[in-house]
Amino acid sequence: MSGVQGIGLDLVLNRRIRESLEKFGPRFRNRIFTEGEQAYCDKMADPVPHYAARFAAKEAVSKAFGTGIGKDLGWLDMEIYKRDGSGQPFVRMLGKGAELLKARGGTEVMVSLTHTDEYAAAQAVLVQ
């Protein structure tokens, strides 16, 4: 039987992500975002809303699992990317994230992203 195991939602103020990027630079980017996420965001005219949406997505995913970001699921244990062609955002679970997905009997994590000049938000659904 398939179904929803968990949902998560997060809202981020883009300015906070901009300040972290300016203050901590590569240290912040490398701690939170995969190389693929950085490459995607950095090619945008204004990368900040795209970084913020991915930050929100990772928080939403951690809420869908009920773990938060910590020992069971880290920032780099998931990657948010867009599928070629459709542009639909997709979550790739890596490392401990892939192990957690399997342990929970999940098949995928679905995500939806949105952003404006001021805010970014994401919703995640853990599917069995």
Q: Which residues are catalytic?
A: 63, 115
Contact 94, 77 (CB under 8 A): yes
Q: Tell me how far apart the alpha carbons of residues 115 and 117 are, in angstroms, rounded to a whole number.
A: 7
Q: Tell me how far apart the alpha carbons of residues 45 and 47 are, in angstroms, rounded to a whole number.
A: 6
CA max distance for the chain: 47
Residue 128 corresponds to which amino acid?
Answer: Q
